[in-house]
Amino acid sequence: MASLNVGNLGEYLREQRRNAQLSLRQLADAAGVSNPYLSQIERGLRKPSADVLQQVAKALRISAETLYVRAGILDEKERDELETRAVILADPSINERQKQVLLQIYESFRKENGFETSSYVEDRDDRDRDDQDGAGGDIRGVDGSA
């Protein structure tokens, strides 16, 4: 069987598995996939779905987005945008409203600099605006000023 064009995903997975000091069987069990299937992915014989990559990433405790890029599912620029958003959303030092405002500012800068927004971002922003329309909340800056 010929190798599929999935970049260096298999080599990268093998390296990450070895760094985590896991056998192929241990990783397969932790990720909920079969041992032969994971072996075929590592050898470049199978192209896994995004769901499988997410399970493997979780078992290895690495970024699923990194695996998506290596598998050709996600563009490098999209990954950077998603990781930036994830960091903002995960920050416990700011509240949810501040996170949304910060994401809106980030998106406006990206648009100003000629970067397109992903449909995921636009859909989420639309939902957030719909949620806020009836809430009567005020918009305050990061420093608390109106």
What is the reported pTM?
A: 0.54
Which residues fall within 8 angstroms of residue 118, CB to CB, at 6 or more apart?
A: 78, 81
- At 12-25, the pLDDT tens digits run 999 999 999 999 99
The dihedral region occupied by 7, where left means phi > 0, alpha psi between -120 and 50, and beta the remainder, is left
Indicate the pLDDT class of residue 118, thresholds 50, 70 and 90: low
145: which DSSP letter?
Answer: -
Please report how many Cα atoms fall inside a 13 Å half-sphere around the Cα of residue 133, on the Cβ side.
7
Mean pLDDT across the stretch 75-97? 83
Q: How far is 69 from 50, CA to CA, in rounded Å?
A: 11
Residue of 73, 75, 100 lying closest to 89 (CA atoms): 100
The rounded radius of gyration (Å) of the Cα atoms in the chain is 20
> Tens digit of pLDDT for each residue in 38-75?
999 999 999 999 999 999 999 998 888 888 888 888 77
